[in-house]
Amino acid sequence: MSATLKALRALSDPTRLRIVALLEQSELSVNELQEITRMGQSRISTHLGLLQESGLLESRREGKRTFYKIAVQADPAAREFIQLAGRGARELPEHGADLVNLKRILARRTQQAQLYFNQVAGRFDRSYGPGRSWQAFGQLLLRLLPSLVIADLGAGEGLLSELLARRAKKVIAVDNSEKMVEYGAAKARKNKIKNLEFRLGELENPPIDAESVDLVLLSQALHHARLPLDGIQSAHRILRPRGQVLILDLLEHNFEQARELYGDRWLGFTESDLQSWLEQAGFKKIEVAVVAREEQPPHFQTVLAAGEK
């Protein structure tokens, strides 16, 4: 088969168009392409193999990882095909999310502290150590928390709010369930936590003054919201300049029973959803990353998103 026919065959699949368009922007590893496109590793590797065999891509090894990029020595015809592939990719519905995820991946490369934490977390459960637990680390890290005014939106009964109030200047817990608010407030009074206040309200429009808090938390709350973007925009409104928002939520999944079992409105969110919403709301220094995966089915994954006003 001629080189031209090989190249045309390689570019006949929409997924391979997406990959070529991404590699036009930057050299990427298999794992990075997998995270950007949300496709399995074997599927990505198969597509990369066909593209490399056609002479459009080249690869290099770095430790255990393989990185791919557009072939430097590609002939003029191949270059023309690559440009056409980029044009075709821009017409695909996935292209916008691919670019958002690419931007996030490239930004994360420079965040060495996050990479180091991931390495530490990966070693944590590998071997037993007396007295070593996430609970103990959590208590230690809690004591490093500065004296902040914190808004916990969609707080439920306020377990996280109660923990944070031990160190924060003030915590305002907002929930749209009157019973939850009454329960949380009664528990705070019982435990004599005077800097924890419960308020009834929606996270899309919390009863909190503009520019009055230092940190907004949305912990497993956004997937219950009617309008998630409104919730993130409200977080921006109530934050002081240089205040931060932290979002812990489920990565997009297909466990439909969650709607009935847990009252979820949304089956999680993609990283590109959260990145785009934070940008639309006006946040800067945005970071989005998957931070946990449950071992038992349906293998829920947790994504952490952060931004600064």
Please check whether residues 172 and 88 belong to one and the same domain: no
Q: What is the pLDDT of residue 115?
A: 57
Residue 97 in any domain: the answer is no
Q: What percent of the chain has pLDDT over 90?
A: 66
Q: What pLDDT is stored for residue 242 in this prediction?
A: 97
Give the rounded distance of the alpha carbon of 71 from its chain centre. Answer: 31
Sign of CA dihedral 229, 37, 58, 11: negative
- Do 173 and 288 share a domain, yes or no? yes
Condensed to tens digits (0 to 9), the pLDDT of residues 31-82 reads 999 999 999 999 999 999 999 998 899 999 888 889 999 988 877 888 888 8
* 236 close to 257: Cβ distance less than 8 angstroms: no
In this structure, are 181 and 225 located in the same domain?
yes
Buried b (16+ CB within 10 A) or exposed e, 269-280: bbbbbbbbbbee
Distance CA 153, CA 166 (A): 18
CATH number of the domain within which 243 lies: 3.40.50.150
* DSSP state letter for 269: B
Confidence label for 192 from pLDDT (cuts 50, 70 and 90): very high
Residue 274 lies in a domain: yes
234, part of any domain: yes
pLDDT level of residue 272 (50, 70, 90 thresholds)? very high
Together in a domain, 286 and 208: yes
CA distance 196 to 169: 9
Are 153 and 250 part of one and the same domain?
Answer: yes
Q: Are residues 148 and 273 in the same domain?
A: yes
Q: Which residue has the tokens 């090894």?
A: 61
Give 159's contacts (C-beta < 8 A, 6+ positions apart): none
Which domain covers residue 33, as residue numbers?
A: 3-92
Tell me, yes or no, whether 160 and 51 share the same domain. Answer: no
pLDDT over 70, % of the chain? 92
Sign of CA dihedral 35, 41, 43, 45: positive
Count the residues in the chain: 309
Q: How far apart are CA 300 and CA 200, in angstroms?
A: 29
Within 8 A by CB and 6+ apart from 11, the residues are 17, 20, 56, 81, 84, 85, 88
Are the C-beta atoms of residues 86 and 99 closer than 8 Å to each other?
no
Q: Which among 96, 74, 63, 67 is positioned nearest to 11, based on CA atoms?
A: 74
- Mean per-residue pLDDT, 85-100: 92
Residue 252 pLDDT more than 60? yes
Tens digits of per-residue pLDDT, 101-119? 999 888 877 665 455 555 5
Q: 87 versus 232: which is more confidently predicted?
A: 232
Cα(71)–Cα(15) distance, integer angstroms: 18
pLDDT of residue 126: 59
33 and 173, same domain (yes or no): no
Q: What is the mean pLDDT of residues 127-131?
A: 62
CATH of the domain at 7: 1.10.10.10
- Are residues 161 and 76 located together in one domain of the fold? no
| Residue 61 bridge partners (DSSP) | 66
What is the total count of domains within the chain?
2
**147 three-state secondary structure:** coil
**Among 266, 259, 261, which residue's Cα sits nearest to residue 225?**
266
Average pLDDT rounded to a whole number, residues 219-237:
96
Of the candidates 54, 61, 95, 100, the one whose C-alpha atom is nearest the C-alpha of residue 77 is: 54
